[in-house]
Chains A and B, each alone.
Chain A
């Protein structure tokens, strides 16, 4: 069945460091891919999305490219800030509108 696998955390970086959080997926058909962010004590917020192969989603300096050949949707940011500290979830929407989330990666950014 459909599934999402993302790198385990926590990831600890210094401010202005480069961020990569890996996400790979397994799906039949043509899923849409998403990154969500969850700040402490809050619900999930959509960060970015891509609906077809080679699409690049971007928002707030974060980017991810839908790579069908490697079934990946890695999240990147060139220079992280302390305010980026949160839990990041990779997700896919597969057949029959079902959503599958990765286990989440906690990011800690130190000043």
Chain B
């Protein structure tokens, strides 16, 4: 158990809908990262937050947005969903921002199925 929790575990929805994925980092970790894992594109880094502020952006679509709240939990919002958004979405957390000892701890993931 990494200490990172994600809810829900599974999500099934229809095209055009909007969903919110939630992540609680390990106790004391200030950074949260979001990743998308799909069969055709592998594991893609989406976005990182550090202590409530966006710090790094990867291949995140404009239909997707994220935020980190004062209690450090994070939410990833996916809107106007398409079939191709079906994937496993991972959250990871780490203690530091760019320290050389920065280690990411991954949650179990949320499996999103868009029908």
Binding site for A on B (CB under 8 A): 2, 4, 33, 35, 42-45, 48, 55-58, 90, 92, 97-98, 100, 102-109
Contacts and interface: CB of A to CB of B under 8 A. Distances in A.
A89 interface: yes
Interface in A57-111: 89, 93, 96-104
B97 A43 contact: no
Interface of A: 32, 36, 41-46, 49, 51, 89, 93, 96-104
A51 B43 contact: no
Contacts of B109: 43
A43 B106 contact: yes
Contact of B98 (A46, A97, A104): A97
A46 B56 contact: no
15 contacts: A36-B106, A41-B108, A42-B108, A43-B92, A44-B90, A46-B104, A49-B103, A93-B102, A99-B104, A100-B45, A101-B42, A101-B43, A102-B42, A103-B42, A104-B43
